[in-house]
Amino acid sequence: MGDRPDPYRVWLSEIMLQQTTVAAVRDYFHRFTARWPTVGALAAAEDAAVMGEWAGLGYYARARNLLKCARVVADRYGGVFPDTEAGLRDLPGIGPIPRPPLPRLPLTGPPP
């Protein structure tokens, strides 16, 4: 069936794409994933470095929640995103997950 999508990249793209377009996000996404290739690397990043890379995307609460979420995933889940919708909803900045992105998220557990 092919490779499963990388949860970190799916999550990062979903957060970045809120309130904007793929064209506006593309370069930011590439810079983020080059500088912080894993959720653990992002979790270890300095706040100012992440905010600096985010500059220009707007809605800076997304960047603050991005860091909070990365740090929870790294600290509480050992750098692995929860594989259930309920587990994902408990992460900072995610909340209720709209139905359309669910097929793109590599969930393995049952729905809540």
Indicate the residue type of 82: P
Number of CB atoms found within 10 A of residue 57's CB: 18
Query: What b/e string do you get for 33-43 counting C-beta neighbours within 10 Å, with b at 16 or more?
Result: beebebbbbbb
14 belongs to the catalytic site: yes
- Choosing from 14, 46, 53, 85, which is the catalytic residue? 14
Q: How many helices (H) and strands (E) would you count in the chain?
A: 6, 0
Active site residues: 14
